[in-house]
Amino acid sequence: MTYFSPKGTRPLVIFQARRSAMTLAVILMTMMAFLAACGGSGTNQPQTPQSKVGGDLAVGLNSDVVTLDPLKSTALVDRQVMLNIYDTLVRIDAQNQIQPDLATSWTQPNAKELDFTLRTDVKFQDGTPFNADAVVFNISRILSTPASPRYSELSSVKSVQAIDASHVRFNLKRAFSPLLATLTDRSGMILSPTAIQKLGANLGNEPTDAGSGPFVFSEWIKSDHLTIKRNPHYWQKDAQGIALPYLSSVKYRPITNESVEFSNLQTGAIQASDTVGATNVATARSSSNLIYKQIPGLSFYGMMLNTKVAPFNDVNVRQAVAWGVNKEEIVSNVLKGLGSVAQGPIPPSSWAFNKDFAPYTYSVDKAKAALAKSGKNSVTFTLSISSGSPALTQQAQFIQSELQPAGITVNIKQEPFATLLSDTSDHNFVAALLGWSGRPDPDGNMYSYFHTGGGNNNMQYSNPQVDKLLEDARATTDQQTRTTDYQQAEQQIMVDVPYVFIYHGNAIQATTTKVKNFTILPTTIMNFSNVYLGQ
């Protein structure tokens, strides 16, 4: 091995032959010191591209995954796994900009057609080719399943057709400006048609070789762990030509108690966490062996109200609850200021946000007055929440305490997260504490939740005026017009109160210092395709 002196180092000089022995010793000592400075011991050696490859990452999730079938999924934890095993037609980057993924480019010949050029070097994990027919199969699967949460996301799509193997056309019922943003997520995930047909109903539990993404499904032991392994045939490479992903595997562990999840992160039992409880954030920020980041998110959190069952089939009762929940108190005391008070579904990070819109502030008197309009002096309802989380329990208890002075009694019902999702989807609930992780286009935060028959409209809310505004917003590309439509829809939604908005959350990232090259995304998705483990 050849070593070079650092720039500016003076050459060694041997003075006299009679001092050669001493000089040799000096030379040897100098070389040893220089080797140590250059990392000769190996402890400070810089990371080389090849040395990034390998390693097993353990990740904490705040609940168990529900399903790995994008046609059926409604949970963020599902997306955390699916977006690491399935590719999408297009993707969202850290700046909320749409980038190519399985589609390399797109053009719009007219308002009712959107054409995609597809990659030609991709195979699914089962060895079958990715092509236009696969796109047609996946999108048609959504369009033929009205019960799917994806159906309303793509309700403006009339059909999809293969032009040739590498080109596909979306035929639209009318102009559909949020389509690209919609295709960055579950509606745009493209799975192997062969695998879908082979796996049948088991796709959601064991999607073996179904994707084309950086990782391959390995095993799922429910309530214990879910493991994905490196896809050796993944199509993406890094800037040095090294095949991605670097990691050998990712093991997800469901840990519903956020304090326990954080403790596992501190001890290194997991190296990444999807949640850090508000009481642990200061410790995470100051810890020398952890990395904590947060950026404004796209989410909203609050209470779904079932508008078809008592007492929330009366708008006056819904408004009473909206007046009676002290959002500022919850953000301050439960979230420790890590979030912002929500006045509707549009977060402050959105281009459609209205900073002057504040329809409800905490008022016991106004809550009582709204309740009196319903002809009642008091009401009782059951609030369903996901079990296992002290923070969610505390939030529910705050709501319970805040509404009591207005004559509104809250009974808290805890149930497993998957059961809660099933109950709300089946409209088997009165009120439920559930949030939405958010989407980059306002359509993704509003249409499926508040349009009649929307895929996430478990509140069974319906208002023709809101429907029209949301449809009109989809049908124009003018951002100012869309902003006006969304803000007017938001105003009417808050009059009708199918959902009590409490706060907008942050996107966070919490890892040990060994986790490298991990990009935080406003969508809160943990993408591990470029992550590696270092010292």
Nearest-angstrom CA–CA distance, 118 and 165:
8
* pLDDT of 252: 98
Ranges assigned E (strand) in 119-233: 157-164, 167-172, 215-221, 225-230
300-504: what CATH class? alpha beta
Domain locations in the chain?
87-198, 213-296+507-533, 300-504
CB 321 within 8 A of CB 500: yes
Structure tokens at 81: 């796994």
Q: What is the pLDDT of residues 369-391, one digit of tens each?
A: 999 999 999 999 999 999 999 99
* pLDDT of 419: 98
Q: Which helix (H) or strand (E) is 33 found in, with range?
A: helix 20-37
Helices (H), ranges, 404-517: 417-425, 442-450, 464-474, 479-496
**Segment 255-267 mean pLDDT:** 97
What global pTM score does this model have?
0.89
CB 520 within 8 A of CB 297: no
* pLDDT of 535: 81
Structure tokens at 165: 């193997």
- Residue 468 sits at φ, ψ, to 5 deg, of -65, -45
**Segment 288-296 mean pLDDT:** 96
Higher pLDDT, 154 or 17: 154
* pLDDT of 48: 64
Q: How many CB atoms lie within 10 A of CB 342?
A: 23
Higher pLDDT, 126 or 23: 126
Nearest-angstrom CA–CA distance, 173 and 157:
6
* pLDDT of 21: 40
Structure tokens at 1: 């091995």
Q: What is the pLDDT of residues 54-98, one digit of tens each?
A: 999 999 999 999 999 999 999 999 999 999 999 999 999 999 999
DSSP string for 260-294: HHHHHHHHTS-SEES---GGGHHHHHH-TTEEEEE
Structure tokens at 428: 């088997």
DSSP assignment letter at 508 = E
Confidence of residue 341 (pLDDT cuts 50, 70, 90): very high
CB 309 within 8 A of CB 535: no
87-198: what CATH class? alpha beta
* pLDDT of 25: 41
Q: What angle do CA 315, 316, 322 make, to 5 degrees?
A: 90
Residue 181: pLDDT over 80: yes
CB 431 within 8 A of CB 382: yes
Residue owning tokens 């999408």: 88
**Segment 106-131 mean pLDDT:** 97
Q: Which CATH number fits domain 213-296+507-533: 3.30.450.90, 3.40.190.10, 1.10.8.100, 3.40.50.12710?
A: 3.40.190.10
Confidence of residue 288 (pLDDT cuts 50, 70, 90): very high
Residue owning tokens 């019960």: 147
* pLDDT of 322: 98
Higher pLDDT, 39 or 464: 464
Residue 34: pLDDT over 70: no
Q: How many alpha carbons lie under 13 Å from residue 292 in its C-beta half-sphere?
A: 19
Higher pLDDT, 510 or 15: 510
- Residue 136 sits at φ, ψ, to 5 deg, of -60, -45
Mean pLDDT score of the chain: 92
* pLDDT of 315: 98
Residue 512: pLDDT over 50: yes
CB 166 within 8 A of CB 120: yes
DSSP string for 395-430: HHHHHHHHHGGGTEEEEEEEE-HHHHHHHHHTT--S
Q: What is the pLDDT of residues 440-489, one digit of tens each?
A: 999 999 999 999 999 999 999 999 999 999 999 999 999 999 999 999 99
**Segment 396-416 mean pLDDT:** 98
**Segment 186-198 mean pLDDT:** 98
**Segment 511-525 mean pLDDT:** 96
